[in-house]
Amino acid sequence: MIWKRLFGRSERDEVPYALYGALVAQARSPEFYMHLGVPDTMEGRYEMVMLHAFLVLRRVKRMGESGKELGQNVFDILFDDMDQTLREIGVGDMGVPKRVKRMAEAFYGRVGAYGTAINAPEPSALDDAIGRNIFPDSPDRAAARRLAAYVRAAAASLAAQPTAAILACGDAHVDELWSVATHHGATLVAALFPRAYIDPNRAEHDIDPELLASLWPHDARPQAYSERGVGLLHRFAAPNVPLYDRRLTVAEVERRIHDYYLPYRHALRDALDAAWQRHGVVWHLDCHSMSSRGGALDPDAGMSRPDIVVSDGDGTTADPAFSRWVIAALTRLGYRVAYNTPYRGGDLVRHFGRPAERRHSVQIELSQALYLNESHGEKHDGFSTLQSQLGQFAAALAAYAEQHSEEV
C-alpha cells in the first residue's frame, strides 16, 4: 500500500518553500549580472539572495501573526540551504555552524540597513546601503542607483499583492493532516520542493511557451494546464498575479526538471513498484487541498465546492469499485464528496494508475475551509477534527487493503 503526499514537507507548510524557491529564482536572473552590474561571483549571488529575502520578509511581516510564522519558516529554509551549500563546496562539519552563524548575523545587519534605508525620505539612503553591501569595491554609484530603483519597484509590487495570492502558492498543512495514515501502515512519499517551483503533477512535456525566454529544444506539448498558466512551471500564483517578472531560460527549466521533477517521479515510481512486488496490489492516494470556491484559474471558477473531491480519470486510474469505496467511507464520516468534478485527476494518477495490473491511483482534494481560515492561512478548530477522521479513514483503508491483497 502506498499513500502519496504530492507537495510540501512533513509538518511544514508548502508556502514558505514556494516563496523561497521564487525569491532564489528571481535572485538568479541574468539581468542583474549582465545589465545591472552585480558581480557574477559567489558573493554577488549570495548578496542578491539576501536582498530578495529581505523584500519577501518585509512583505509577509504585514500579514500579522501568520506572517511572522511564515517569515520565520522562510528564514529557516534559507539558512538550511546555506548550510547544505557550504557542505557541498567542501567546508568541514566543524566549520559550517560558525560560517552559518556569521552569515545569519550579516543577514540581520542587511535587513536592518535595507529596512531603514527604504523607509528613509532621502532616495540616496537606499542607494548607499546597496552600494556598501553589493558594490563595495566600485567607486561608480550608478550601478547602486539602478539596483536601488529596482528594489523600490519590487517592494511596491509586493505590497500590492493580496495576501490570498501569497498563500495560494501551495497546499496548506496537508502533510500534517495525513500524517496519521502512517500509524496504519501507509507510506508517505513527499517532495521537498513546492509545486509553484515545478509541479510534479504535470506531464514533463507540459511546457508553457509564454514562460520561456527562448524556444524549448525538447518535447513540448502544452496542455490545458499551461493555457491557464499552471503547467509544469506555474506562470501565475493567482489570476493576474504573475510569479515572475521575466521569462525563464531553458537552462533554468532543465535544471528544475533534472534536480527536482525527475528525482521525485523516480522515487515515487520505485516506492510503488516495491509495494506492488510485496503485495501484488497498490492503493495509491494522491492527496491535495483546494479552496472552498473555484478560482479564476480553475475550470469551476466562482463555484462553491464540496468538502472532498475524489477523482480517478473517469474510472481509468483505479478500479471504480475502489473509488466507490473511498467515496462511501468519506461520506460515512459526514463529508460532502464529489466524484471526478471539478477535478478528474492530474498527471500522477494517470501515469501510475493501471488498474488492470492492480495498481490503483486515486486523487483526493480536501476543502481548506474544513480546517483553515482561508483568508489568513491559519488553522481553526476543525483541523484536529478532520485529522482525527482521516485517521479513522486510514484505519478502514488499511483493513480494505489487507483484505483485497489476500485475493492475489
pLDDT digits (tens, 9 = 90+) for 21-58: 878 878 888 888 988 889 999 889 999 999 999 999 99
Any idea which of 231-240, 246-255, 279-288, 310-319 has the lowest mean pLDDT? 231-240
Instruction: Say which residue the cell 519558516 belongs to.
Output: 73
Pull the grid cell for residue 79: 539558512
Pull the grid cell for residue 248: 525563464
Q: What is the CA radius of gyration of the chain?
A: 23
Sorted by where each starts, the structural domains of the chain and their CATH numbers stand as 14-162 (no CATH), 168-405 (3.40.630.40)
Q: How far apart are CA 27 and CA 358, in angstroms?
A: 46
Phi and psi dihedrals of 227, rounded to 5? Answer: -60, -30
167 pLDDT above the threshold of 80: no
What proportion of the chain, given as a percentage, has pLDDT over 70? 91
Q: What is the arithmetic mean of pLDDT over 349-373?
A: 95
What average pLDDT does the chain have?
Answer: 87
Exposed (0-12), middle (13-18) or buried (19+): which is 266, by Cβ within 10 Å?
Answer: exposed
Q: What is the arithmetic mean of pLDDT over 143-167?
A: 82
Decide: helix, strand or coil at residue 289.
strand
Residues 211, 235 contacting (CB under 8 angstroms) = yes
Q: CA-CA distances (angstroms) from residue 97 to 20, 84, 217? A: 21, 11, 42
- Confidence band for 93, pLDDT divided at 50, 70 and 90: confident
140 pLDDT above the threshold of 60: yes
134 pLDDT above the threshold of 50: yes
CB atoms within 10 A of CB 103: 17
Phi and psi dihedrals of 2, rounded to 5? Answer: -125, 125
Predicted pLDDT at 11: 37
Predicted pLDDT at 12: 44
Pull the grid cell for residue 216: 524549448
164 pLDDT above the threshold of 70: no
4 pLDDT above the threshold of 70: no
Q: How far apart are CA 201 and CA 191, in angstroms?
A: 11
Predicted pLDDT at 2: 46
SS3 content of the chain, % helix, strand, coil (to 5): 55, 10, 35
Predicted pLDDT at 114: 95
292: enclosing H helix or E strand: none
What proportion of the chain, given as a percentage, has pLDDT over 90? 51
Report the residue count for the chain: 408
What is the DSSP secondary structure assignment for residue 246, as one 8-state letter?
A: S
Beta partners for 20? none
Predicted pLDDT at 396: 97
- Confidence band for 360, pLDDT divided at 50, 70 and 90: very high
What is the distance in angstroms between the CA of the first residue and the CA of the last residue of the chain?
14
Residues 134, 47 contacting (CB under 8 angstroms) = yes
Q: How far apart are CA 283 and CA 399, in angstroms?
A: 12
226 CA to centre of own chain: 17
